[in-house]
Amino acid sequence: MMLHIKNGIVIDPKNGIDAEKMDIFVKNGKIVEESEVKGDVKVIDASNKLVVAGGFDMHAHIAGSKINVGREMRPEEMRTVRLVAGKFRASIGRVLLTSPAIGYEYAKMGYTSAFEAAQPPVGALHTHEELDAIPMIDKAALPVFGNWHFVLKYVAEKNWEKLRTFIAWAIERTKGFGVKVVNPGGVEAWMYGGNCKSLDDEVPGFGVTPREIITALIQETENLNLSHSVHLHCNNLGTPGNYETTIESMKLASKFSNDRRQVLHVTHVQFNAYSGSSWRDVGSGAAEIAKYVNSVDNITIDMGQPIFGHATAMTGDAPFQFTLHKLTGARWSNKDSEIEGGAGIVPIGYLPKNPIHALQWAIGLELGLLVDSDKVVLSTDYPNGGPFTEYPYIMAMLMSRKMREKELERVSPYVQKATGLAAIDREKTLFEVIQMTRSLPARVMGLDSKGHLGFGADADIAIYNFDPLTVDVTNDFETVYKVFKTSAYTIKGGEIIAMNGELVKEVWGRTFWVDATSKVEMEAIESDLDEMFSKYYSLERQNYGVEESWIKKPERLVMG
């Protein structure tokens, strides 16, 4: 199908277009020049409407054993009915959603890509089964590396060739997208009841430190020049005073650079941005982090913004999840895994009047406001900070001081003394917010065809009932919030999939994976792989991994 999107007001940060009246043409799922579109063309009248690229959620937990245990542990989460079965699947869930609901809710909001941010290596196939059950959007998964014994061993031996080869092998076997690192070393320490809270804590049994693991993984990810950089969930998450660990971790990237993108993405930074020495004097370290991130050009972050209401903490950071369970007394699921990794799941909620929750809420916003818009991606770390369906709330808050003032009235006064939020005048522009939700995440992931509306881009487009030339985003924040909740049109790969909050057509997106195997000689690690599988793992090496043919719509990105 060909499309002519007529008279829309286009914001396309990557191509430097800021609210210009333009026409967009679509053919064979791509954005093309006008001359290529002839004959049977469907015209969409976008007069007085905002036209942007489809949203890109680069960090969400949408598929795999963690979210599924979350669903199983929390049937109370599943009782919200969003759609009765008919032309589309039944769709249910409050914050935790079923797989069909995830695809549908993204689509209704104008989002067309979402990446699973933590794929346990041992459960790689499960993650792909769930990704395959999510309709409407493009997707990918980031396998978790930071506690994998091969990594710890090669870092200890300083055998960079083997480490590099292992990364390429592991991404191919998991059909993953990049190198996710969760609490490096800390999850291995958890197997002995410990953790690695500082960058120099030694990992039991391996004689390495988080500092060495992070540095080595950045080095070899850059040597492979993967599509995406190292994606780091820092050590010491959820602890007062941890902002210093975060900045220290960021500094490990200082000797690396890449022309295309950052060399280190630090994720859900809100959870790693606390000052103070205990929960009694905890405060915000957001300003210091923002200062550091703004001063360098090789680091990006995402917010991890909490949304008041229900949420479920689920991370590969198993020792943190146990701490959270002890702190709140809530239910606790844990999974220690061979092919090494761990995970924990604990229900949480964010209450405006709770000083700590309000603090977390304020820190997320501080990060969103204080960090340059080409370095901070909007995220809730779904479902850790809450639902992705509240992204419009974050967008509106970033653009309107007035809205923030109004919201500050209902939250714990603790934020007034513990954070600088109330004093921040800065209002992000619509252009910047579009950048933080479209072009930036696509760049962070290294996907040239996403996040923009230039010729050759994927025809993933969102149109909103909203004229940026007349609406005052700082005063009409209620309109902004409402408008971004449901698109007027969501177009995925050139097809209209949702209109005005109603689904139109079910489509199945692609699953991207990265193949860097041609850049290494597998021979280097063959015998190590055989040895680990035969001695320590409970499955045969030949039965480990995911084949491309098992995935519904795989798209292999060969690293050249």
Partner 1 sequence: MAEEVNIICTFCGSVCDDVQFDLEKFKGKKFCKLGSSKFSKKERIKAPMIDGKEVSYEEAIEKAAEILVNAKRPLLYGWASTVNEAIRLGVLLTEKVRGVYDQCASVCHAPGTLALIEEGVPGGSLGEIKNRADMVVFWGSNPMEAHPRHPVRYSVRAKGLLIKDRKDRKVVVVDVRKTKSANMADLFIQIKPGYDYPVLSALRAIIKGEEDAVPEEVGGVKKEQLKELAEMMKSAKYGAVLYGLGVTQSRGRDRNVENAIKLIQLLNRYTRWIIWPMRGHYNVVGAGEVPAWEAGYTYAIDFSRGYPRFSPGEFSANEILQRGDCDAALIIASDPAAHFPKVSVKHLKKIPVIQIDPFPNMTTLLSDVVIPSAVAGLEAEGTAYRMDGIPFRVKKIVDTEYWSDEKILELMLEKVNELQR
Q: Which residues bind partner 1 (CB under 8 A)?
A: 63, 65, 67-69, 71-75, 77-78, 81, 83-86, 89-93, 98-100, 122-126, 129-130, 133, 190-193, 322, 325-326, 331-339, 345-346, 535-540, 542-543, 547, 550
Annotate 130-172 with three-state secondary structure: HHHCCCCCEEEEEEECCCCHHHHHHHHHCCHHHHHHHHHHHHH
385: tokens are 């900070």
Question: Nearer Cβ to partner 1, position 99 or 242?
Answer: 99
Question: Burial letters for 144-176: b for 16+ Cβ neighbours within 10 Å, e otherwise?
Answer: bbbbbbbbbbbbbeebeebbbbbbbbbbbbbbb
Question: Burial letters for 88-109: b for 16+ Cβ neighbours within 10 Å, e otherwise?
Answer: bbebbbbbbbbbbbbbbbbbbb
The packing angle between helices 286-295 and 243-251, to 10°, is: 10
CB of 68 to partner 1, least distance (A): 5
Question: Burial letters for 371-405: b for 16+ Cβ neighbours within 10 Å, e otherwise?
Answer: bebebbbbbbbbbbbbbbbbbbbbbbbbbbbebbe
CB of 312 to partner 1, least distance (A): 11
131: tokens are 């990704």
78 vs 422: CA distance, rounded Å: 36
Q: Which of 218, 164, 217, 152 is CA-nearest to residue 189? A: 152
Question: Nearer Cβ to partner 1, position 153 or 438?
Answer: 153
248 vs 272: CA distance, rounded Å: 12
CB of 535 to partner 1, least distance (A): 7
Question: Nearer Cβ to partner 1, position 123 or 176?
Answer: 123
CB of 168 to partner 1, least distance (A): 22
Residue whose pair of structure tokens reads 């239910």 in the numeric block: 331
Question: Nearer Cβ to partner 1, position 341 or 355?
Answer: 341
How would you class 425 by CB atoms within 10 Å of its CB: exposed for 0-12, middle for 13-18, buried for 19 or more? exposed
CB of 93 to partner 1, least distance (A): 6
Question: Nearer Cβ to partner 1, position 94 or 519?
Answer: 94
CB of 126 to partner 1, least distance (A): 5
Residue ranges of E strands in 146-273: 180-182, 230-233, 264-266
What is the helix (H) or strand (E) element at residue 12, kind and residue range? strand 2-12
Compute the chain's Rg from CA coordinates: 22
CB of 470 to partner 1, least distance (A): 40
Confirm if 518 and 558 have CB atoms less than 8 A apart.
yes
Question: Nearer Cβ to partner 1, position 192 or 455?
Answer: 192
CB of 485 to partner 1, least distance (A): 22
Which residues, in sequence order, are CB contacts of 438 under 8 Å at separation 6+? Answer: 13, 14, 52, 53, 54, 55, 56, 451, 452
Question: Nearer Cβ to partner 1, position 346 or 371?
Answer: 346
Question: Nearer Cβ to partner 1, position 35 or 543?
Answer: 543
CB of 351 to partner 1, least distance (A): 21
Question: Nearer Cβ to partner 1, position 283 or 387?
Answer: 387
Question: Nearer Cβ to partner 1, position 241 or 545?
Answer: 545
Q: Identify any residues that bridge with 70 across adjacent strands, giving them in sequence order.
A: none
CB of 344 to partner 1, least distance (A): 9
